[in-house]
Amino acid sequence: MKAFVTGAAGFIGSTLAERLLADGAEVVGIDCFTDYYPRPIKERNISIALKHPQYRFVESRIQDADLPALLNDRTHVFHLAAQAGVRKSWGRDFAIYTVNNIEATQALLEAACGMPGLDRFVYSSSSSVYGDLVAMPMREDALPQPVSPYGVSKLAAEQLCYLYFANFGLPTVSLRYFTVYGPRQRPDMGFHKFLRATILGEPIAVYGDGDQTRDFTFVSDAVSANVAAALRGVPGRVYNIGGGSRVSVNDVLAMIARIAGRQPTITVDPVQKGDMRHTYADTSLAHADLGYAPTVGLEEGLAAEHLWLTGIL
């Protein structure tokens, strides 16, 4: 495999690049180091891959890169680059999401159309596309009604992938992640903030009553889904990628207390606009087509992230 990984310095992208290298692939990674969180964190993410002889890194926006040259001999594209964050996607900042999530995706798809040797184009979407009116567990054929501008931008990019498949035969496959966590998780994400605060003895801010639920997916399972989608994904299809259980935030806090050996201090903040109340993935299609089955349970995964954070704080 000759892979092109966008967002290669990010949480999932850097972990995926290392998995591909370990599997014997040749990898070209690209990242523009947006200022959504500190650059040194991303530089630490790619420090291992940079030492590998089969890895090349390009620092650039997708729109500014020489995509025909970068994609010329690639067999697989993994498109993870995006402006993250539900709560920051409102107001004037939405322009950042349209540029990084929609325009960048269209530029990459357009360039990929000219590459006859491309076997799969795997796009990283989000459960945020569903919104709050979908039956549980969420199925891929449900009507998506996102409740945040971020979700709108991810759905738009997902639809772009489909139309390039439908009109040009580009073999796109989209993966809707359900709350990915684990080592290298972004510092703005819930588990990172909860674990960090507990380690440092600081208060944890919980939005609302804590009874909101999520389907939490360990990063290695999300990475395995990418690899499976690249090899077995049906072009034009969308797949839910979840962790296999629906757990409340309050349950997560109880697990963190057990793992850390101390009771977190909780403060309650108002519910944030755009936050979905519940998510839960029906992964039967991913299981049937990709052989996807999550292997890391939530408490085991939380312990792994806790150990990683303890080592860097």
* DSSP for residue 103: I
Residue 184: the pLDDT is: 98
Inside any domain, residue 71: yes
| φ, ψ dihedrals at 243, nearest 5° | -90, -10
Picking from 150, 144, 145, 148, the residue whose alpha carbon sits closest to that of residue 97 is 150
> If pLDDT is split at 50, 70 and 90, which confidence band does 247 have?
very high
312 within 8 A of 195, measured Cβ to Cβ: no
Q: What would the pLDDT profile of 11-60 be if each residue is shown by its tens digit?
A: 999 999 999 999 999 999 999 999 999 999 999 999 999 999 999 999 99
- For residues 207-225, average pLDDT: 95
Whether the CA torsion 238, 244, 250, 255 is positive or negative: it is: negative
Tens digits of residue pLDDT in 130-148: 999 999 999 999 999 999 9
Domain contains 79: yes
Phi-psi region of 156 (alpha: psi -120 to 50; beta: other; left: phi over 0): alpha
Q: How many Å apart are CA 62 and CA 304, to the nearest integer?
A: 32
| Number of domains, the chain | 1
- Please give the residue range of the domain that contains residue 7: 2-178+219-242+281-295
- Tell me if 40 is assigned to some domain: yes
Q: Which residues pair with 120 in a beta bridge?
A: 76
- Assigned domain for 212 exists: no
Determine, yes or no, domain membership for 254: no
Q: Is residue 214 part of a domain?
A: no
Instruction: Identify the pLDDT of residue 206.
Output: 92
- Output the CA torsion sign for 251, 255, 257, 258: positive
Note the pLDDT of residue 88: 84
Q: How far is CA 224 from CA 11, 45, 114, 229, 294, in A?
A: 14, 18, 28, 8, 9
Q: Are 86 and 214 in contact (CB under 8 A)?
A: no
Q: What is the reported pLDDT for 313?
A: 81
45: in domain:
yes
| 203: in domain | no
Q: State the average pLDDT for the chain.
A: 96
Positions marked active-site: 150
Task: Report d(CA 208, CA 197) in Å as an integer.
Answer: 18
Distance of CA 152 to the CA centre of its chain: 16
% pLDDT > 70, the chain:
100
Radius of gyration of the chain (CA): 19
Q: Which residue has the tokens 């990929």?
A: 112
CATH value at residue 287: 3.40.50.720
List pLDDT tens digits, range 74-106.
Answer: 999 999 999 998 888 998 899 999 999 999 999
- CA pseudo-torsion sign 182, 183, 187, 192: positive
Percent of the chain with pLDDT over 90: 91
The model's pTM: 0.96
CB 174 within 8 Å of CB 233: no
Q: How does pLDDT run across 269-305, given as a tens digit for each residue?
A: 898 888 889 999 999 999 999 999 999 999 999 999 9
Query: Please, which pLDDT band fits residue 245 given cuts at 50, 70 and 90?
Result: confident
> Whole-angstrom Cα distance, residue 224 to residue 186?
19
Q: Map residue 224 onto helix, strand or coil.
A: helix
Assign residue 48 a region (left: φ > 0; alpha: ψ between -120 and 50; beta: otherwise).
alpha
Give the integer Cα–Cα distance in Å for 117 and 151.
31
Pick the residue with more confidence: 7 or 89? 7
- Tell me the β-bridge partners of 217: 180
